[in-house]
Amino acid sequence: MVEPAAGPKGRPHHGPRRARPLVLAAAAVVPFVVLGAPASATGQERPPPVAETGPLVIPKMDGSVILDGRLDDAAWDEAARLGAVMHVPDFGADPSERTEFLVGHDGQYLYFGCRAWDSEPEGIRAPSLRRNDGRFINDWCVLNLDTLNDGETTLVFGTTPAGIRTDAVVDDDASGPPNFDWNTFWDAAAARFDGGWSAEIRVPFSSLAFQTDGEGRVVMGLSVWRNIARKNERVTHPPISPRWGGLSFLKASQMRPAVLEGVEERRAVHVTPYVLGGMGHSHDLSPEDQQYLRSEERVREAGLDVHYGLGPSFSLDLSGNTDFAQVEADDQEVNLDRFSLFFPEKRRFFQERAAVFEFPVGGNERLFHSRRVGLAEGRPVRIYGGGRVVGRIGDWDVGVLNMHTAESETLPSENQGVFRVRRRVLNEGSYAGAILTSRIGTEGSYNVVYGGDARLRLLGQDYLILNWAQSFDDAEAAGANSGDVGVFEHTLVRARWERRDVFGPMYDVDLSRVGDAFEPGLGFLQRSGYARGNLRLGYGWAPGEGSSVFRYGVGLTTSGFRRSQDGALETGVLEPSAIVETRGGHQVMAIARYRHEDLVGGFALSDEVEVPRGRYGFYEGVLQYVSPPGDLVRTTVRLEGGGFFDGRRTSVQLSPSWTPSRHLGLSASYRLDRIEFADRQQRLMAHVGRLRAEVMLSTEISAVAFVQYNSTLDLAVANVRFRYNPREGDDLYVVWNEGVNANRFDSDPVRPRSDERTLLVKYSRTFSLGL
């Protein structure tokens, strides 16, 4: 191991110190290590790292910290130093590289420091300058916080040797992926020294929701980690087993309690006005359907967002003339089924404490999906404004959201609201709650949904999940759903027992029933009028030291949807699967599947190809390979083939990405679906291609070009965004969107070359008080 040369005050030598602007750091989701400890500022030996069990008392530091990534301020001598163990590939082993973590606070800010020695300094990875880059191609030093200490939500703050910043929120104890669209106010910096790199992260307490106990202390969950990209190695404090899968190191329930005294409760106020201007055009068919008429539009808008901290655990957000012009376009998809596709929420306004509003009822289905606000059939609808209050009182989580939208071509002007409350019960990881959603149109239409839910941790990693909800609307009140439709047909009920683990036995049982008339007006539901049963059994194991394989897994899933109308089995699936993951990060998955489908009505795949009503049974298979996440050139390959209703389908999907330098990132995706119904002489060749290029001139200036092609729509879509972000909350965006008809002459009348185009410039500035 190469030890760094000692610099002034006995610390790693960074070279001549010079005045320079603050370098902001990026957070990601990666491991962390701590072994040795350099001398203190006075030249005396520092005490050994604190114990890795029991509550961690985070000391209050005297003196100031200059955020430059160097960790050479005297205040750091009073910080707590933490040990670490390897998370992957060999859980419990000593880290391969010496690392030191430090945590402290000064009443206004929480500080995290990291010294990351490396025996091969030329192998340190920092290939990106992208804000919110959570990829494992970077080396990382990361701070995780469960600020409400409830084992539910993880806030991630991290940086790389390039000094980029990444923050994310991970909900439901890391049972789903990180949400990188969430942002808050914080700072970070990184620096190099001979034989490694170091980082400093500063998070204002006014950016965090927390509670104090009866003695004025704050207790949070805390974990830290480092990622060594070239080794696919992650290390953590405290020790966290990888038994829960690839995001185990983000689990709030596995954090160490951290006790802070003397924290100042400051109420942050962020006022963010914006101005927007631009122009564009679009085309619509004339009333006689004889030609496309072009309309020009110029846009001049202004609006305001206000964030007010009502207390350390409560916040109020207000928005006037809400705008999301800078949000990236959705991915183009080809829908090969009869149900709606799910698209995630990307708009920042809806990200704050979003988990409080969650009411999942299986898969992507949920009673509240914020994309139903301000969007109609995928197109934006003006939001006049609205507000949100979210926070915690004791063991109660409370969320209220209300927005008002303008009239659109397909919807009236509406008021849309949701009220959500839940309370911790029994133990950590368990809660019971209720929800109420409303969608009220100015012309008299309405939809209201109310329900209750519970998640109970029963035995170790075994959870029981219960859902119940009912809906009613104006159509029912008017008698459209009369007589034969009872209350039960407006009801959803669900029970699920699951074990959250990827090693040892794995299982879950999911039973639900959704009535024919149940309609969540602000939710996402793919189908109604069914009873469903789902059973998954599996087993995962690690071969042990000396093997190149990290884990094996096998499973068997069976599910069935039975129609309420006639009791027939509408959909049935039997699916055995296997997965192998190597210590180097390679992953191979294989699935064999039998599907039964009973269609009471056909559905169209394109203008020329359809699947008729009937009863079908067919077999299909899936083979997928994912390359190591730390590779600078990465790819995912997925092959699917077999029967498809009364025909055959072959699908190939390739998703490569390449980061040639920290100033350029390239990624692409191509999917081919070849479907043939020989007996009916129908055939579909569907191509979807995506190309994304990111140019990062610095941590403040970037541009992203996202171009997509969908052959089923004969449409190419471009979304180009330039961003100047000198600090959190201050942004200048230049956005160009264009849709181009790839085949103009296959319809009558002939379509225009450019279907629609917008060019927008948006500037927003945040004025902060209380930081």
Q: How would you write 335-386 as a 3-class SS string? A: CCCCCCCCCCCCCHHHCCCHHHHCCEEECCEECCCHHHCCEECCEECCEEEE
* CA proximity to 718, closest of 756, 746, 680: 756
pLDDT band per the 50, 70, 90 thresholds, residue 273 = very high
Q: What are phi and psi of 207, to 5 degrees?
A: -90, 0
Take residue 583 and report the two structure tokens written for it: 């210590």
Secondary structure class of 206 (helix, strand, coil): helix
pLDDT value at 4 more than 70: no
Which residues, at least 6 apart from 36, have a Cβ–Cβ distance to it below 8 Å? 98, 100, 117
How far is Cα 764 from Cα 271, in angstroms, rounded to an integer?
A: 10
How far is Cα 20 from Cα 14, in angstroms, rounded to an integer?
A: 14
Burial of residue 603 (number of CB atoms within 10 Å: 0-12, 13-18, 19+): middle
- The residue ranges of DSSP E strands in 372-461, in sequence order, are 375-376, 379-380, 383-393, 396-405, 414-424, 431-441, 446-459
How far is Cα 60 from Cα 259, in angstroms, rounded to an integer?
A: 11
How far is Cα 450 from Cα 471, in angstroms, rounded to an integer?
A: 7
Secondary structure class of 259 (helix, strand, coil): strand
pLDDT attached to residue 341: 79
Q: Which residues pair with 764 in a beta bridge?
A: 274, 731
pLDDT attached to residue 615: 95
DSSP state of 729: T
pLDDT in tens, 303-326: 999 999 887 788 899 999 988 877
pLDDT attached to residue 87: 93
pLDDT band per the 50, 70, 90 thresholds, residue 702 = very high
pLDDT value at 33 more than 50: no
pLDDT in tens, 598-646: 999 999 998 889 999 999 999 999 999 999 988 989 999 999 999 999 9
How far is Cα 141 from Cα 27, in angstroms, rounded to an integer?
A: 8
Distances (CA, A) of 708 to 330, 346, 717: 10, 18, 5
The pairing of strands 587-599 and 664-677 is unpaired
pLDDT in tens, 548-567: 999 999 999 999 999 998 99
Contact 118, 197 (CB under 8 A): yes
Identity at 448, one-letter amino acid code: V
Q: What percent of the chain has pLDDT over 70?
A: 91
How far is Cα 31 from Cα 28, in angstroms, rounded to an integer?
A: 9
| Mean pLDDT, all residues of the chain | 87
Q: What is the DSSP string of 272-292?
A: EEEEEEEEEEEEEE-TTSSSE
How far is Cα 56 from Cα 146, in angstroms, rounded to an integer?
A: 14
pLDDT value at 30 more than 70: no
pLDDT in tens, 346-397: 787 887 778 889 999 988 899 999 988 988 877 788 999 999 999 998 889 9
**Is the dihedral angle over the CA atoms 379, 381, 385, 389 positive or is it negative?**
negative
* CA proximity to 33, closest of 77, 89, 82, 79: 82
How far is Cα 440 from Cα 410, in angstroms, rounded to an integer?
A: 15
Q: Taking residues 421-440, what's their average pLDDT?
A: 92
pLDDT value at 60 more than 50: yes
Which residues, at least 6 apart from 613, have a Cβ–Cβ distance to it below 8 Å? 599, 600, 601, 602
The pairing of strands 56-57 and 256-260 is parallel
Q: Which residues pair with 571 in a beta bridge?
A: 561, 597
The pairing of strands 269-285 and 314-322 is unpaired
pLDDT attached to residue 580: 96
pLDDT attached to residue 182: 85
Contact 129, 662 (CB under 8 A): yes
- DSSP alpha helices (H): ranges in 71-144? none
Q: Give the angle subtended at the CA of 147 by the CAs of 390 and 421, to the nearest 5°.
A: 30
Contacts within 8 Å (CB) and 24+ apart, 452-460: 453/359, 453/422, 454/425, 454/430, 455/429, 455/430, 455/431, 456/425, 456/426, 456/430, 457/426, 457/427, 457/428, 457/429, 457/430
How far is Cα 489 from Cα 166, in angstroms, rounded to an integer?
A: 46
- Whether the model clears a pTM of 0.85, i.e. scores above it, the answer is no
How far is Cα 153 from Cα 133, in angstroms, rounded to an integer?
A: 20
Take residue 587 and report the two structure tokens written for it: 């992953």
pLDDT attached to residue 479: 57
pLDDT band per the 50, 70, 90 thresholds, residue 279 = very high
Take residue 208 and report the two structure tokens written for it: 């965090």
Contact 80, 56 (CB under 8 A): yes
pLDDT attached to residue 183: 86
Burial of residue 163 (number of CB atoms within 10 Å: 0-12, 13-18, 19+): buried
- DSSP alpha helices (H): ranges in 652-727? none
CB atoms within 10 A of CB 480: 11
Helix (H) or strand (E) holding 676: strand 664-677
Lowest mean pLDDT among 154-168, 345-359, 522-536: 345-359
How far is Cα 553 from Cα 575, in angstroms, rounded to an integer?
A: 14
Q: What is the DSSP string of 287-322?
A: TTSSSEEEEEEEEEEEEEEEEEEEETTEEEEEEEEE
pLDDT attached to residue 355: 84
The listed range with the strongest mean pLDDT (32-41, 200-209, 421-430, 614-623) is 614-623
pLDDT attached to residue 17: 34
pLDDT value at 37 more than 50: no
Which residues, at least 6 apart from 53, have a Cβ–Cβ distance to it below 8 Å? 238, 256
What secondary structure, in 3-state letters, does 483-539 show? CCCCHHHHEEEEEEEEECCCCEEEEEEEEEEECCCCCCCCCECCCCCEEEEEEEEEE
pLDDT band per the 50, 70, 90 thresholds, residue 485 = low
pLDDT value at 36 more than 60: no
Contact 539, 553 (CB under 8 A): yes
pLDDT band per the 50, 70, 90 thresholds, residue 507 = very high
pLDDT attached to residue 52: 62
Which residues, at least 6 apart from 486, have a Cβ–Cβ distance to it below 8 Å? none
pLDDT attached to residue 478: 60
Identity at 419, one-letter amino acid code: F
* CA proximity to 23, closest of 268, 199, 228: 199
